[in-house]
Structure 1
Amino acid sequence: MTAATNDTNSQTSVHNAAQEASVLFNTEPTDCGHLIGVMTLNTPKSLNALSVDMCQLLSAQLEQWQDDNQVVALVLKGAGDKAFCAGGDIRKLYDSMSTSAPMPNPYATEFFSHEYRLYRQMHFYPKPLILWGDGIIMGGGMGLMAGCSHRLVTERTRFAMPEVTIGLFPDASGSWFLQRMPAKTGLFLGLTGAMCNGNDALLANLAEYAVASTDYDTVMQRLRQSNWQAVDNTSSSNKCHDNSAHSIVSRALAVLPVAVLPDSKLATYWHPIQQLMNSGGLADIDELLQSDEALAQISKDFSEDSWTQRAVATYRHGCPVTAALTYALYYKVADLSIEQVLYLETNVAVHCAANPDFKEGVRALLIDKDRSPQWSRSLVDCLSVEGQAYIDQHFVNPYPKGEHPLGDWLGKDALGSQYVR
């Protein structure tokens, strides 16, 4: 074998290793000499499910590009043609949830704290984060979506928070962004795991731009051609400044052809959803969702639409503890910052990893795939005095004093506190 052959094989090996990385990074030059950073989730076989490794890689690259004055904006996308990110990679988390696992579960702490640190980093990132939201977006992918400053959706976008099917709760900052959807549609989505489209994302404050799934190259061309020389670096903390990088991205994306997306189900049914979610407490909502006749009285169209029928069926088959946690969180976080919400979600997530329903839900859906979970409690049980104490316990800090992985987010070092100062 010649030296040239050895060199070629070495280059091929390096290339293959790079392509196998869970996240790919590259930069594209702009016409005026700056760079657009591109981050590609690269596990298409698992629909780009988010792992600890991916969170670490993304976080490190975000930090590096934040300090690089040549990089003016970042694009986040998924490999393959099916999904941006279909949730978290919970198989290893499932394996860690044994009856002998300590509390708090070390791997659950690692998994959720890395994920939530990434979301916090994104929410306070000073440069534009542009999401190419094509395909399926669920769970952890929704957390990434919520952390981006400019979100593009397509006619193929499908998003959901389906944790009610696995006994978890709408985490990944879901408590935060579901609260910010109009007419309590976020509470409905959290309880039912309903699958929505790109137009729903626009209505629900999860996206700003509708483009065709074939327009990615056009998007990148518009970004490359923008006048990045005009960026006023002194205004980095003021994202709405006319000469900020955020405003330049907004202008570039605003002139793109607007794609025709499927009709918004949330727009069609916002009124019956609002009626449902304001019918009383969770017991009252449950009584309506469990009754075909009651739903038909609220809206015949609502009760007969295949979309709402699937959503209601998911709720009825879903985990009652998840429903109770979803409802409680929706009201607990109304006045909290994103950092406070993520701190609280960490507590709930780690408790879920120690309690039976999360493990049972993953078993039924992803491991044995029998789709017949045996939930630990009914909703009536959850709403009893004893059951309410069980639900409330999920919010308690499970860590010894001073050891909560996100504990410094609640004091004077919170980024939100620094921002207002």
Structure 2
Amino acid sequence: MSAPVLFSKLACPQGGVIAIATLNNEKTLNALSFEMVELLLAQLQQWQNDARVKLVFLQGQGGRAFCAGGDVHAMRLLALKNPGGPCVEAETFFAQEYRLDYLLHNYAKPIVVWGHGIVMGGGLGLLAGCSHRVVTEKTRIAMPEVTIALFPDVGGSYFLHRMPGECGRFLALTAASINASDALYAGLADVFLNHSQQAQVLAALQALAYSGDNQADSALISEQLQRFAALAIDKPEANLQPHQRIIDELCGGDDVQLIVERIANIVSDDLWLQRAQQGLRGGSPLAIKWIFKQLQRSAQLDLKAVFNAELVLVSNILRHPEFAEGVRALLVDKDKTPQWQYATLAEVGDAVVDRFFVPPWPVNPLADL
């Protein structure tokens, strides 16, 4: 039980098995380590080629989190080994993580992911790629990368564009937290269930008669999940849909300076908007600029091109001190007073930002996706 990812199988009475992968690091809220990524990638590839496996079920150990993201503590330490230069180990982690996410998006078999509790960063990358995405009454999703001088990666450059209106841009810039209702509205989830239904859901999925045809089996699974959804209670009140008009007004246009000023100048007693405003104010001005530019550059890209572009940006970020400082202030020393390279957005010149988008190697490590 000490392995960072647990793998098991449930035999289906009508033939085949359900393969279960459990992220198993409760102390870190199941944050992804390099070992976890490697284990998942290898096992999922093996299951994809195993005719006995009819369905993959992905979950997190414990009741607090599915996955709180990548292990940024470890990434920071690796980045500090060679300041300003290549960070081979950390860059390899991100490349493999993106390979895993890409595999999930293109998996040949149905994957049910149980997105209960905290789902952030790398955890959202896992959830977003699965074919059947379950969220619960305790699901809390966020992309808080602006606050540690990173950016919404793991495919965020793809799925943020597919949210209604300017929701994707707003979430990326503010690190605003969303719930199950919001995830359904934003296209990040497919079905709302109660966490207490998990054992019953697994038993019902185990009893299905799988044909081995991906489309037919996916429809069968969806039908079964919807039966349980009809019985689910305590669905949280939405944030995104009621705020859609103001989000569009705040984030419209191509002037990032103007957008940031609009959000920073919000005067409201709306607690959700206030927290979003605080997220933006606490973020790195440099990161705000590269987040905005990455979203602009990726708007028309397919998934493979997105992951290639994300690896360019993250590799350059790892070589810059802003990321290490952001993690230090928020997660290591927890003083929440990062010493950002630039005090204001106006100080961040376009030439500075452009350098983060220049590939740091002759061939992208994900060119073979």
Are the structure 2 counterparts of residues 279 and 56 from structure 1 closer, same or farther at C-alpha, using a change threshold of 3 Å?
same
Match of 2:88 in 1: 106
In the alignment, the residues of structure 1 paired with residue 271 and residue 240 of structure 2 have an alpha-carbon distance, to the nearest angstrom, of 14
CA contact (8 A) 1:138 1:160 kept: yes
Matching residue within 311, 314, 338 for 1:349 = 314
Paired residues, number: 366
**Greater Cα shift, 113-122 or 252-261:** 252-261
Distance 2:183 2:25 in 1: 24
Alignment partner of 2:196: what SS?
coil
Distance 1:99 1:83 in 2: 30
Unaligned runs of 5+ in 2: none
**1:374 to 2:334 alignment:** no
Contact 1:154 1:259 in 2 (8 A): no
Q: State the Cα distance separating 1:108 from its structure 2 match.
A: 2.0
Q: TM-score, normalised by structure 1?
A: 0.84
Separation in structure 1 between the aligned mates of residue 269 and residue 299 of structure 2, nearest angstrom:
32
Shift of 1:78: 0.2
Give the C-alpha shift of residue 175 in structure 1: 1.3
Deviation, structure 1 residue 46:
0.1
Q: Contact 2:65/2:119 (CA < 8 Å) preserved in 1?
A: yes
Distance in 1 between residues matched to 2:200 and 2:190, nearest whole Å = 17
Counterpart among 76, 100, 109 of residue 118 in structure 1: 100
Distance 1:222 1:89 in 2: 34
Q: Which structure 1 segments of 5+ residues have no match?
A: 1-18, 297-302, 410-421
| Larger RCO of the pair (alpha carbons < 8 Å, separation 6+) | 2
Partner of 1:307: 272
Question: How far, CA to CA, are the matches of 2:235 and 2:287 in structure 1?
Answer: 31
Name the TM-score, length of structure 2 as normaliser.
Answer: 0.96
For each residue in 1:263-289, what CA deviation from the matched residue of structure 2 results, as whole angstroms up to 9, or x when unmatched? 110011011001111155111111112
1:33 deviation in Å? Answer: 2.2
Provide, for residues 129-155 of structure 1, a one-character-per-residue CA deviation record: whole Å limited to 9, x for no partner: 111010000000000011101001110
* 1:7 aligned residue: none
Distance in structure 2 (CA, Å) of the matches to 1:90 and 1:221: 36
CA distance in structure 2 between the aligned counterparts of 1:246 and 1:390, rounded to whole angstroms: 46
Secondary structure of the residue that 1:195 maps to in structure 2?
coil
**Contact preservation (8 Å) 2:84, 2:320:** no
| Contact 2:84-2:321 at 8 Å conserved across structures | no
| Structure-1 residue corresponding to 2:351 | 389
Match of 2:28 in 1: 46
Bigger drift between 93-102 and 271-280 goes to 93-102
Deviation at 1:335, TM superposition (A): 1.0
Corresponding position: 1:405 with 2:365: yes
Quick one: which amino acid aligns to residue 226 of structure 2? A
- C-alpha distance in 2 between matches for 1:281 and 1:258: 43
**Matched position secondary structure for 2:40:** helix
Moved over 6 A (4+): none
Paired residue for 1:76, among 21, 45, 58?
58
Distance 1:312 1:329 in 2: 21
Distance (Å, rounded) in 2 between the aligned partners of 1:285 and 1:130: 37
